[in-house]
């Protein structure tokens, strides 16, 4: 049997996600984690400017469960929540989607796709 498909979550990404949701608890972090955190926080300039994030297309999520069972399992890897009908999604050029809110916040701190690590480039 093949192992279940899991999204690989490097530590930096977890940290960035925690900062994001303000769930950081510095007392429970190791020195290495704090160093890593510093690095992550220090990467502001790696994010996309808001004007560019706003240029990304957004769509409304609609479940295609009638046609494909897999679709109903789709989650936003940033907040780990399942998409619900009517949720707004931001579409990255690599074809990955996130909640508009999650994706925008994510891209403002890091312009690479959390799933495939592709840089989101928006060139004219
Ligand atoms: Zn989300
Ligand atoms: Zn991607």
For residue 5, the Cα-to-chain-centroid distance in whole angstroms is 17
Compute the mean pLDDT over every residue in the chain, rounded to the nearest whole number: 76
Ligand 2 mean position, distance from CA 1 (Å):
26
Based on the number of CB atoms within 10 Å of its own CB, is 110 exposed (0-12), middle (13-18) or buried (19 or more)? buried
The three-class DSSP label of residue 76 is coil
Q: What's the pLDDT score for residue 109?
A: 87
| Ligand 2 midpoint to CA 116 (Å) | 4
Query: Pick from 47, 59, 39, 42: which is nearest to 112 by CA?
Result: 47
Q: Which ligand is nearest to the CA of 77?
A: 1
Q: Indicate if the pLDDT at residue 76 is higher than 70.
A: yes
**Digit-coded pLDDT (tens) for 24-61:** 566 666 777 766 766 665 544 578 888 899 999 999 99
pTM: 0.59
Distance 82 CA to ligand 1 centre (A): 8
The CA 38 to ligand 1 mean position distance, Å, reads 24
What pLDDT, on a 0 to 100 scale, did the predictor assign at position 39?
A: 63
């Amino acid at each position: 049997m093949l192992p279940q498909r899991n999204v690989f979550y490097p530590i930096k990404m977890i940290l960035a996600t925690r900062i994001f949701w303000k769930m950081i608890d510095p007392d429970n972090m190791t020195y290495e984690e704090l160093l890593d955190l510093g690095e992550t926080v220090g990467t502001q300039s790696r994010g996309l400017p808001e004007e560019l994030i706003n240029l990304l297309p957004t769509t409304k999520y609609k479940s295609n469960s009638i046609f494909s069972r897999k679709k109903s399992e789709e989650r936003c890897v940033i907040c780990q929540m399942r998409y619900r009908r009517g949720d707004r999604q931001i579409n990255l050029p690599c074809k990955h989607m996130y909640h508009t809110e999650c994706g925008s916040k994510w891209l403002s701190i890091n312009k690479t796709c959390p799933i495939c690590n592709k840089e989101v480039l928006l060139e004219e």
